[in-house]
Amino acid sequence: MYVRRRGDSLLRVVLLAPPLLFLLSMVVYPLLFGIRMSLTDYKTGQWNNFHNFVRATQDSLFSDAVKAIAIYVTVVIVIEFLLGLVLALVIYHNIKSGWLKALFYFLFLIPLVTPPVAAGVLFRLMYTPSYGIINYLLQMTGLIQKEILWLSQPAPAMFAVISVDVWQWTPFVFFVLFAGLQAVPKDTLEAAAVDGASGFQRFRLIELPYLRPLMLLVLILRLADTFQVFDHVMVLTQGGPGTVTQFLSVYIYKVGFKFLNLNYAAAASIMVIAVVILIFMALNRLLRIAEGGEANEA
Amino acid sequence: MKHSWKSSRFLVGLFLGAVALLYLFPVFWMVTTSLKSTGELYGYPPTLVPLRPTLQPYRSLLMEKGYGQLIRNSLVINLLTIVLTLTLALLINYPLARLRVSARAGRAILNGILAIRFIPGIIMVIPFYAIILTVGLYDTIWSLVLIYTVFNLPLAVYMLNGFLREIPIELEEAALVDGATRRYAFLAITLPQLSPAILAIAVITFALSWNDFLFALILTATPAAQTFSIGVWRLVSQFQILWNEMAAAAVIATMIPILLLVFVRRYLLAALTFGVVREKA
Amino acid sequence: MSNFHTKGLAVLVLLTLVAMMGVGCRGTAVPATVTSGPVAKPASLTIAGVAGNEAKGIKAIIPEYEKKTGIKINFVEFPYSTLFEKIVTTMQAKQETFDLIMADDIWLPKFESEGWLTALDEKFNYQKDPDIFPVMYDAATWPPPSGPIIPGEENKPRHLYGITILGNVQFFAFRGDLVPKPETWEDVIANAKKVADPNKPLYGFALRAAAGEPSGMEFFPLMYGWGGRLFDDNWNVTVNTPEVIEALKVRQQLAELSPPGVANYDAAERAREMASGRAAQIITWPAEAADFMENPEVSQVVGKVTYSAPPKGPKGSFPFLGNWMLAIPVTSKNQEWAFDFLTWATSAEVQKTYALAGGIPMRKSVFTDPELAKKFPYFPAVAEAYEVPPIVLPRTPEYIPLITIWGNHLNAMVAGIETIEEGVAKAQEEMTAHLREAGYYK
């Protein structure tokens, strides 16, 4: 299939080597450093028999934080993924005007480039009881009688921090999948429509195979990033009420930079990496199976 | 039949309208807050539109607090990061998609690069700080360009890879057969077809670098290299939050990339309306 | 001629700095020895400071110093929430970036025990000034002059490592036009019940009860007032004790008399309730009085608020100290001039300018200055709180983790997630586990 030329194999090395070496040099040392740190004591720097990992299993703050992040990641990813996908499909198929498309593009760009801390502050201003606009509007329209204590009750507080994430990061899913839809050959889609395939059938049979790798990509990147959620939580709830929104990422940050035990933080981070890699492998497999025969192609 | 078509149009419109409203309200609140005086912000009930609009929050940020310098740093860092990320991503992808690299090696490279993104920033930042000190880039914008490139490459590489595989190779090959150089064939024929992906990557890279705080905090020390996100965090002080200045900072932060996109609107529209048409053999 | 000389020197200093940064920056710490003879004047001094109104005073006096000495002062502002980790990472890497740091006094134990700060009395022969409250010196002395000393530090010689630049201390604010001065916490509750009016609305109190440090800090005057402590002299955690539980019951009453949602109130919300006339009494800090209650732009209650030291519990009145200090990192190349700036900035004359510019001062004579008291009605109450005297937060680098854990449980109690008994039991366990991990129990 490929057109071969003399010097191609050299070109291959010349093109691949510099960026890969750059990445290796940037990542390998920090990663090894982190692993070493996770295996040593934070005071003495000595090997400590996996103590940091063992400690995590006995630390109730750690298990609270894991529970909190599990809820957060699950809800956030499901909503963002589905909403982003539906938006990409609906806008791609229903809006023909380039300018209207651009308008939506701008609308979704705004949350994405709002500094997370500013988003947190903004939503705090809106959610705050007594003088926040949300309760005010809800009360004015008669939807609620008593104020909802958005930021100081467990379920509403979780809702509040999730809502900021969904507002900010659904556009990420949208942008990637929208671009992905553009790679689907139009003629194939049109042919299917002529053959009488319904919208859903066209999506499943034609677009989905194209989108699958990108879906894996957005899922895994959103997963890796929501595991590190930080700024807006610190501004909205500071981890409260109690430890309801003290997510693993917030806890790791506090342990590392406020409690100055970077070694324990490193151990917890490595567990996060392990979990993300496991989920990545599972997703990869799932999508491969769904792809069926195509799995061995590429 | 006709009826259901109409009602589905209606539903689509309703859905998009609702989403647009939910997305716009915080934006509206951001703008309106940024135009309120502190006094008005502290009154009750909250006003939907500022009674006496003021530009004082913007003046305070840009004139009195010197955020202009921070914005400039961020902008330079972001644009350099986008260029470097796209260049490296294309360098990695070209051989994977166009020269014979075994599928297993290709997949290993891709997954390896993607896995970089799984490493939490908190574990990277201290050792990376040590590297930056050693190479003498501490408190320079380059330290941030490097780390942001590392963190944005996975998405860029992976996404471009998917696109390069989908884009028909025939045209490029035809050019090669006609004696064009590889560089010409790639730049003139393939690159334009990648525009949707390049747009998405540029936007996301911009957003991720624009929003980073941790690396910017640790790797810089003075306004010579500090970024806008540091300035934004400063507005949450020990005893108060400067709500209106924070909102103004958010407006500025969102206006800059929008203006950049408006500036390149021709390419934006071209990329947004781009669609692959593949001649099935 | 002499001008040329200074310029040349400045360039030399700069070049050296640049070279050192370039070469590898893992330079060794500068030993804190007494240097004699004239010291070259640097072109500039760099200060790591906190962003916000806490920096107002110091920023106002900097131009004067620049004019006087010709040294440029780079005051780099960092967000309050992250200045600590910025300083720690800079010091750990032995960076010379900062000649002076502005630090919350509770961060000092970490910096002092690591040997990151220059001893001011030893190196510069700093003499204590009777016009500066002794408690400020106590808070910057290591090992601490009172209370338990952390393991491994007992035998270090005692030195002074910082001077207060911003004299924050907890005190109390109440609506003098609505309620009489509360002498005790019982009076506070009685006042609150008396004025509470849900229709206005007017709340008797506004408790700062957000998760973590805010809750922890707010609770101290009550906790100490009933005789409770975070730990005893052997670092055994003592939060699950009858005294603490008794104080928590009082706190719970205050929470119920506060506006709904105080479980997420930090200082900004609390002060806002007071300034908008919706709350009648609060524990407060000077910055809140300056920025909220006495700020005509936002306040409905200018002139209606009276300030005093915190009310008494059965064991007395306990305001807490929360100073911002200036200290000199051992890595600074310009320590003499950093010290010169430090003593200049904290001198009586400059402190008055500093206060007039809206900064929170630190000298007794400035807090009690009648001219200033007219302009800043809370100054005498701050001085009063200093005479009590204020309590210095426990001197251990583990204070931050402990107060975070404790503050989360305090918050959970107000939010109704935990009962008082559950909260103290869990906190006791978690705080003990933390100190054990840190090697406090052998």
Q: What is the dihedral of CA C275, C280, C286, C292, to 10 degrees?
A: 0
Task: Report if residue B121 sits inside a domain.
Answer: yes
Residue B77 exposed, middle or buried by CB count within 10 Å (0-12, 13-18, 19+): buried
- Pick the closest to residue A174 from A281, A88, A58 (CA basis): A88
Contact present, B243 and B29 (Cβ < 8 Å): no
- Pick the closest to residue C186 from C103, C135, C84, C254 (CA basis): C254
Q: Tell me: pLDDT of A120 over 70.
A: yes
Question: What is the rounded distance in angstroms from the CA atom of residue C71 to the CA atom of residue B95?
Answer: 56
Closest to A130 (Cβ–Cβ): which among C261, C414, C438?
C261
Task: Report if residue A33 sits inside a domain.
Answer: no
Contact B218 C26 (CB under 8 A): no
Q: What is the dihedral of CA C133, C137, C138, C143, to 10 degrees?
A: 180
Contact C261 A129 (CB under 8 A): yes
Q: Which two tokens stand for residue C301?
A: 């209650």
Determine contact: A4 vs chain B, CB below 8 A.
Answer: yes
Q: Tell me: pLDDT of C53 over 50.
A: yes
pLDDT bin (cut points 50, 70, 90) of residue C24 is very low
Contact C261 A151 (CB under 8 A): yes
Task: Report if residue C32 sits inside a domain.
Answer: no
Q: Tell me: pLDDT of B173 over 90.
A: no
Q: Half-sphere exposure of residue A29, counting CA atoms within 13 Å on the CB side? A: 14
Q: Which two tokens stand for residue B79?
A: 């644009």
- Pick the closest to residue C337 from C8, C9, C80, C21 (CA basis): C9
Chain A residues with beta carbon closer than 8 angstroms to that of C397: 260
Chain B residue nearest residue A270, CA to CA: B119
Closest to B237 (Cβ–Cβ): which among C23, C53, C98?
C53
Best mutation site among A1, A24, A27 for testing chain B: the one with the most B CBs within 10 Å?
A: A27
Q: How many residues does chain A have?
A: 298
Query: Closest Cα of chain A to B67: distance in Å?
Result: 14
Q: Mean pLDDT for chain B?
A: 89
- Three-class SS state of C272: helix
Q: How many residues does chain C have?
A: 442
Chain A residues with beta carbon closer than 8 angstroms to that of C417: 154, 241-242, 244
* Range A202-211 contact pairs with CB under 8 angstroms and sequence separation of 24 or more: A203/A89, A207/A89, A207/A181, A209/A291, A209/A294, A210/A180, A210/A181, A210/A183, A210/A184, A210/B166, A211/A177, A211/A180, A211/A181, A211/A184
pLDDT bin (cut points 50, 70, 90) of residue C200 is confident
Task: Report if residue A190 sits inside a domain.
Answer: yes
Contact present, C292 and C274 (Cβ < 8 Å): yes
Residue B114 belongs to domain spanning: 65-234
Closest to A110 (Cβ–Cβ): which among B27, B92, B95?
B27
Q: Which position has the token pair 């104080």?
A: C247
DSSP per position, C307-342: EESPPBBTTB---BB--EEEE-BTT-S-HHHHHHHH
CA distances from A239 to A245, B14, C266 (A): 4, 36, 13
Chain A residues with beta carbon closer than 8 angstroms to that of C278: 130
Are residues C114 and C225 located together in one domain of the fold?
A: no
Residue C151 belongs to domain spanning: 8-19+42-167+323-387
Q: What is the tens place of the pLDDT at every residue in C103-122? A: 999 999 999 999 999 999 99
Best mutation site among C44, C59, C82 for testing chain B: the one with the most B CBs within 10 Å?
A: C82
Window 53-82 of B: residues touching A by CB (8 A cutoff) are none
Q: Write down the pLDDT at residue A285.
A: 86
- Pick the closest to residue C70 from C96, C100, C40 (CA basis): C40
Best mutation site among B119, B148, B241, B280 for testing chain A: the one with the most A CBs within 10 Å?
A: B119
Residue A259 belongs to domain spanning: 41-288
Alpha helix ranges (H) inside A238-261: 248-253
Alpha helix ranges (H) inside A39-95: 51-58, 60-94
Are residues C237 and C282 located together in one domain of the fold?
A: yes
Contact present, A122 and A232 (Cβ < 8 Å): no
Q: What is the tens place of the pLDDT at every residue in C251-283? A: 999 999 999 999 999 998 999 999 999 999 999
Chain B residue nearest residue A175, CA to CA: B200
* Mean pLDDT of all residues in A79-103: 92
Chain mean position to CA A292: 27
Q: Which chains touch B (3 or more CB pairs under 8 A)?
A: A, C
Q: Domain tally for chain C? A: 2
Task: Report if residue A105 sits inside a domain.
Answer: yes
Task: Report if residue B264 sits inside a domain.
Answer: no
Query: Closest Cα of chain C to B87: distance in Å?
Result: 28
Contact present, C171 and C233 (Cβ < 8 Å): no
Q: How many residues does chain B have?
A: 281
Q: Half-sphere exposure of residue A199, counting CA atoms within 13 Å on the CB side? A: 8
Determine contact: A33 vs chain C, CB below 8 A.
Answer: no
Chain B residue nearest residue A268, CA to CA: B123
Q: Which two tokens stand for residue A187?
A: 């003629």
Residue C78 pairs with which residues in a beta bridge?
C50
Contact A117 B126 (CB under 8 A): no
For residue A128, the domain's CATH number is 1.10.3720.10
Task: Report if residue C27 sits inside a domain.
Answer: no
Q: Mean pLDDT for chain C?
A: 90
Report the complex ipTM. 0.90
Q: Which position has the token pair 């103004």?
A: B248
Chain B residues with beta carbon closer than 8 angstroms to that of C85: 217-218
Determine contact: C288 vs chain B, CB below 8 A.
Answer: yes
Q: Tell me: pLDDT of C16 over 60.
A: no
* Range C16-22 contact pairs with CB under 8 angstroms and sequence separation of 24 or more: C16/C333, C17/C96, C17/C333, C20/C96, C21/B136, C21/B138, C21/B139, C21/C96, C22/B136
Q: Domain tally for chain A? A: 1
Determine contact: A26 vs chain B, CB below 8 A.
Answer: yes
Q: Write down the pLDDT at residue B76.
A: 97
Q: What is the tens place of the pLDDT at every residue in C368-386? A: 999 999 999 999 999 999 9
In this structure, which amino acid lies at residue A186? Answer: K
Contact B240 C53 (CB under 8 A): yes
Window 133-152 of A: residues touching B by CB (8 A cutoff) are 133, 136
Task: Report if residue A227 sits inside a domain.
Answer: yes
Are residues C299 and C338 located together in one domain of the fold?
A: no
CA distances from C300 to B39, B235, B241, C193 (A): 10, 24, 19, 22
Task: Report if residue A131 sits inside a domain.
Answer: yes
Window 234-293 of A: residues touching B by CB (8 A cutoff) are 235, 249, 252-253, 256-257, 262, 265-266, 269-270, 272-273, 276-277, 280
Task: Report if residue A21 sits inside a domain.
Answer: no
For residue B139, the domain's CATH number is 1.10.3720.10
- Pick the closest to residue B34 from A165, A114, A141, C288 (CA basis): A114
Q: Give the rounded percent of residues in chain C with a pLDDT score beyond 70.
A: 91
More confident residue, A227 or C20: A227
Task: Report if residue C34 sits inside a domain.
Answer: no
Contact A113 B107 (CB under 8 A): no
In this structure, which amino acid lies at residue C317? Answer: S
Q: Write down the pLDDT at residue C230.
A: 96
- Pick the closest to residue A168 from A225, A211, A213 (CA basis): A225
Are residues C212 and C312 located together in one domain of the fold?
A: yes
Contact present, C150 and C395 (Cβ < 8 Å): yes
For residue C98, the domain's CATH number is 3.40.190.10
Q: Domain tally for chain B? A: 1
pLDDT bin (cut points 50, 70, 90) of residue B276 is low
Question: What is the rounded distance in angstroms from the CA atom of residue A295 to the CA atom of residue C241?
Answer: 64
Task: Report if residue C421 sits inside a domain.
Answer: yes
Determine contact: A96 vs chain C, CB below 8 A.
Answer: no
Chain C residues with beta carbon closer than 8 angstroms to that of B41: 298
Chain mean position to CA B278: 30
CA angle B67, B69, B70 (to 5 degrees): 65
Contact C212 A241 (CB under 8 A): no
Question: What is the rounded distance in angstroms from the CA atom of residue C357 to the CA atom of residue C53?
Answer: 11
* Mean pLDDT of all residues in B122-145: 92
Q: Which two tokens stand for residue C371?
A: 């001219």
Task: Report if residue C66 sits inside a domain.
Answer: yes
Q: What is the tens place of the pLDDT at every residue in C292-326? A: 999 999 999 999 999 999 999 999 999 999 999 99
Are residues C339 and C356 located together in one domain of the fold?
A: yes
Q: What is the tens place of the pLDDT at every residue in A158-175? A: 999 999 999 999 999 999
Question: What is the rounded distance in angstroms from the CA atom of residue C389 to the CA atom of residue C173?
Answer: 18
Q: Write down the pLDDT at residue B269.
A: 83
Task: Report if residue A282 sits inside a domain.
Answer: yes
Query: Closest Cα of chain C to A29: distance in Å?
Result: 17
Question: What is the rounded distance in angstroms from the CA atom of residue A95 to the CA atom of residue B19?
Answer: 15
Are residues C182 and C293 located together in one domain of the fold?
A: yes
- Three-class SS state of C359: coil
Q: Which two tokens stand for residue B7?
A: 């009602």
- Pick the closest to residue C147 from C70, C232, C225 (CA basis): C232
Task: Report if residue A96 sits inside a domain.
Answer: yes
Residue C313 pairs with which residues in a beta bridge?
C316
In this structure, which amino acid lies at residue C29? Answer: A
Determine contact: A156 vs chain C, CB below 8 A.
Answer: no
pTM of the shown model: 0.91
Q: Which chains touch C (3 or more CB pairs under 8 A)?
A: A, B
Contact present, C283 and C251 (Cβ < 8 Å): no
Chain B residue nearest residue C93, CA to CA: B130
Question: What is the rounded distance in angstroms from the CA atom of residue C109 to the CA atom of residue A96?
Answer: 64
Q: Half-sphere exposure of residue B166, counting CA atoms within 13 Å on the CB side? A: 28
- Pick the closest to residue A154 from A80, A77, A62, A64 (CA basis): A64
Determine contact: A187 vs chain B, CB below 8 A.
Answer: yes
Chain B residue nearest residue C23, CA to CA: B136
Contact A15 B95 (CB under 8 A): yes
Chain C residues with beta carbon closer than 8 angstroms to that of A60: 426, 429-430
Window 40-69 of A: residues touching B by CB (8 A cutoff) are none
